[in-house]
Amino acid sequence: MKWMLVVLVGGVAPVNTDLVFDKFSDCLSAEAQMRQHYSDAFDAWDRVAAARIDRRSDYRKARDLEAKRLLSNVGTCVPHGGGDSVAPAEQPKPPAAPSQQPAAPSQPTPRP
């Protein structure tokens, strides 16, 4: 069975990464690397923000927002049923306009 890494942006909205792995352990390793990347990015931001933001309350608010933005994205490994080639998922088509009467030959309107 193959496994695909899916990222849940904000912990909710799934985003397909198109990263497919032969082993579950490889998928979990990729997810751990992704988490580490987000953690490193947050730490780098935190070091710069701590030096730049003067007021402690402003720093705390900004830090909370940045933590939610970066650290609420999580990855998960899901079974992938496709073969060697992965076809993109078909987008749902918008609903068609209400059907109109078939075009009949125009006839003049009777006048009284």
For residue 52, what is the DSSP state? H
Reported as a single tens digit per residue, the pLDDT across 84-98 is: 444 444 444 444 444
Rounded to an integer, what distance in angstroms lies between the CA atom of residue 60 and that of residue 51? 13
Nearest residue to 8 (alpha-carbon basis) of 95, 75, 106, 82: 75
pLDDT, tens digit, 9 for 90 and up, residues 15-36: 888 899 999 999 999 999 988 9
Q: What percentage of residues in the chain have a pLDDT greater than 90?
A: 23
**Domain locations along the chain:** 2-80
